[in-house]
């Protein structure tokens, strides 16, 4: 598990710069800068993530581990980041 990603996601949760779950992402009126999802996501969810990334014109990050382990939210498979600087930091950490 990447501790930096977990830390940045924790900052997102504390600052309420996060949209959790596919239904909330679909209905979100906030600007989403990054979509994070885990490898256990179903094919239907992955297809939805592609559509949502086109809608919000944002990047996506696929985690090898379960996303619920990073955010301590049971059953969490996808989330969106609404803070640009935190989204940029998560992208930078995953590119290394």
Q: How far apart are alpha carbons 5 and 24 in whole angstroms?
A: 22
Kindly report, residue by residue over 11-65, the tens digit of the pLDDT.
999 999 999 999 999 999 999 999 999 999 999 999 999 999 999 999 999 999 9
Nearest to 21 by CA among 91, 72, 68, 80: 80
Helices (H), the chain: 3-14, 22-27, 43-56, 67-71, 84-95
Q: So what's the pLDDT on residue 96?
A: 53
- For 3-95, CATH gives 3.30.1330.30
Q: Tally Cβ neighbours within 10 Å of residue 4.
A: 13
pTM of the model: 0.92
Q: So what's the pLDDT on residue 2?
A: 84
**pLDDT bucket at 95, cuts 50 / 70 / 90:** confident
Q: So what's the pLDDT on residue 1?
A: 63
């Amino acid at each position: 598990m990447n501790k930096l990603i977990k830390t940045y996601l924790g900052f997102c949760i504390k600052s309420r710069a996060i949209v959790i779950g596919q239904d909330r992402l679909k209905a979100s009126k906030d600007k989403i800068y990054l979509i994070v999802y885990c490898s256990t996501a179903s094919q239907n969810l992955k297809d939805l993530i592609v559509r949502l990334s086109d809608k919000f014109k944002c990047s996506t990050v696929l985690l090898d581990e379960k996303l619920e382990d990073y955010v301590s939210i049971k059953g969490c498979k996808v989330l969106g980041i609404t803070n640009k600087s935190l989204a940029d930091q998560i992208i930078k950490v995953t590119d290394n």
